[in-house]
């Protein structure tokens, strides 16, 4: 008991308490049973992994877990159950689970094992290449389901491990490319055809870069750098235009509604519109538990799944939302402390990877509830309804607790 890190456990159980209190008032029957069954299994899994040495888990079972995760993803294409046009669930009769959530965990296991084993050559091309392959395989499977939100989490996993491999130049290039491509995809969604204004902006940017290199950087041949920059931008424009053209209509609507929340408040923008109304109606102290009119009367979609944060804000106001964010802040801070103090690189990698997954999903979910990020369909960790996700999150916490206990005894 002395080795249990209660600074991690207390925020988690606080969030689970809020989740169970809200979900239990909205669901009944089998759905009610599924939630509490998943909660019980998750707590048991957390306990088992908290007392299981993580190094043994990685060195002898990482490849097996990863292969099992890929097979489960492949099985969704053969026997998967489709929900809202997304074929991401396997129905075994007694229960339904989501393999992509399990694949997050198994992919991290293999990446931690591989990077730890090749840490001396962490900057080598071979190491980065194989890490890319390990992430790319589940990423493609999830993207084909299609589940764009979960596929973004695999992109975050790759980013985290690239950061830990200390490839600074490659990391800078990927961040720059991602930011530029994201901006261009939004532009092409707003302007479906290649408008002349985009090329005017591009030429203006090139002229600005030329002036800076010629007169401020005093470079003799700025046209060389300018040519490389032009080829780079041209490549991103091509990729962005193809990506924007490949987006499904509902995905384009999410981007357009993010740019202009008032664009279509009764149809494609209904979710974000009602989320903002629900949050605003809670004011400072909220309407009271089970007294939220927007959620209770059915105006807010996903009131106990993707938009449960808005539900909590309506019933408990700014105070309730702030307490949830504070709980997440304490949890993430403690996870990073465990990562810094871990006695070996495997423990540090596991903690940082799980931090990246939980932090990114929390930011994306709360951001879409507040209308400052596009809707991605990602659940809020430990709070949103979802059996497989809850079990996986609690398993991550169990492993972090094991790393923490090992650190204290080191």
Query: DSSP states of 370-396 as a string?
Result: HTSS----PPPTTTSS-HHHHHHHHHH
- Please, which residues have CB within 8 angstroms of residue 332's CB and are 6 or more apart in sequence? 355, 358, 359, 362
The angle subtended at Cα 113 by Cα 172 and Cα 119, nearest 5°, is 55
DSSP assignments along 342-358, one per residue: -SSHHHHHHHHHHHHHH
Rounded Cα gap, residues 41 and 33, in angstroms:
12
- Contact predicate 400/351, CB 8 Å: yes
Burial class for 243, CB neighbours closer than 10 Å (0-12, 13-18, 19+): middle
- pLDDT (0 to 100) of residue 410: 44
- What are the distances in angstroms from CA 177 to CA 151, 245, 253, 303, 322? 18, 19, 24, 36, 34
> What is the spatial distance between Cα 190 and Cα 184, in angstroms, rounded to a whole number?
10
In angstroms, the Cα distances linking 212 to 51, 201, 230 are: 58, 17, 15
Q: Are 357 and 5 in contact (CB under 8 A)?
A: no
Looking only at Cα atoms, what is the longest distance across the chain? Answer: 74
Q: What is the full per-residue pLDDT of the chain (410 aa) written as tens digits? A: 677 889 999 999 999 999 999 999 888 888 888 899 999 999 999 999 998 888 888 877 888 999 999 999 999 988 878 777 788 888 887 778 899 999 999 999 999 999 988 888 888 888 889 999 999 999 999 988 888 888 999 999 999 999 888 887 888 888 888 888 888 888 888 877 665 566 667 777 777 777 777 676 666 666 666 767 777 877 887 788 888 888 888 888 888 888 887 777 778 788 888 999 999 999 998 899 988 888 888 888 889 999 999 999 999 999 999 999 999 999 999 999 999 999 889 999 999 999 999 999 999 999 999 988 888 888 999 999 988 999 999 999 999 999 999 875 54
Q: How far apart are CA 5 and CA 38, in angstroms?
A: 23
**Cβ count within 10 A of residue 171:** 14
90 sits in the region (left: phi over 0; alpha: psi -120 to 50; else beta) called beta
Residue 358 has a pLDDT of: 96
| Three-state DSSP state, 96 | strand
In whole angstroms, give the CA distance from residue 235 to residue 366.
33
pTM listed for this prediction: 0.89
**Where are the domains positioned within the chain?**
6-408
Contact criterion met (CB below 8 Å) for 294 and 328:
no
pLDDT of residue 348: 93
Could you give the CA distance from residue 224 to residue 210 in angstroms, rounded to a whole number?
Answer: 10
The CB density around residue 143, as the number of other CB atoms within 10 Å, is: 15
pLDDT at residue number 197 = 65
Residue 161 contacts residue 353 (beta carbons within 8 Å):
yes
């Amino acid at each position: 008991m002395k080795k249990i890190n209660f600074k991690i456990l207390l925020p988690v159980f606080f969030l689970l308490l809020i989740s169970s209190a809200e979900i239990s008032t909205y669901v009944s029957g089998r759905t009610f049973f599924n939630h509490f069954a998943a909660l019980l299994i998750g707590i048991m899994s957390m306990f088992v992994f908290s007392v299981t040495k993580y190094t043994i888990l990685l060195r002898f079972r990482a490849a097996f877990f990863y292969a099992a995760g890929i097979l489960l993803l492949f099985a969704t294409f053969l026997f998967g159950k489709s929900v809202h046009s997304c074929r991401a669930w396997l129905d075994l009769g007694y229960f339904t689970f989501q393999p992509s959530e399990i694949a997050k965990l198994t992919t991290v296991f293999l990446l931690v094992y591989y990077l730890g084993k090749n840490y001396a050559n962490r900057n080598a091309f071979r190491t980065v290449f194989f890490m890319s392959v390990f992430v790319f395989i589940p990423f493609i499977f999830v993207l084909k389901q299609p589940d764009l939100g979960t596929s973004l989490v695999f992109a975050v996993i790759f980013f985290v491990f690239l950061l830990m491999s200390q490839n600074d130049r490659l990391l800078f290039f990927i961040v720059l490319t991602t930011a530029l491509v994201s901006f261009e995809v939004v532009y092409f969604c707003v302007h479906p055809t290649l408008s002349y204004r985009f090329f005017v902006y591009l030429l203006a940017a090139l002229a600005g870069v030329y002036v800076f290199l010629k007169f401020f950087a005093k470079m003799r041949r700025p046209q060389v750098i300018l040519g490389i920059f032009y080829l780079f931008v041209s490549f991103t424009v091509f990729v962005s235009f193809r990506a924007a053209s490949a987006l499904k209509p509902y995905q384009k609507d999410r981007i357009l509604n993010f740019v202009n929340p008032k664009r279509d408040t009764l149809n494609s923008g209904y979710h974000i519109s009602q989320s903002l109304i629900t949050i605003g109606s809670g004011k400072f102290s909220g309407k009271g538990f089970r007294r939220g009119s927007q959620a209770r009367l059915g105006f807010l979609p996903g009131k106990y799944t993707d938009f449960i944060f808005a539900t909590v804000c309506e019933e408990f106001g700014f105070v309730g939302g702030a307490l949830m964010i504070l709980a997440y802040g304490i949890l993430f801070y403690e996870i990073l402390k465990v990562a810094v103090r871990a006695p070996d690189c495997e423990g540090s990698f596991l903690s940082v990877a799980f931090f990246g997954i939980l932090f990114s999903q929390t930011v994306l979910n709360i951001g879409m509830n507040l209308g400052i990020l596009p809707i991605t369909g990602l659940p809020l960790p430990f709070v949103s309804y979802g059996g497989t996700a809850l079990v996986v999150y609690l398993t991550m916490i169990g492993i972090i607790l094991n790393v923490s206990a090992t650190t204290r005894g080191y």
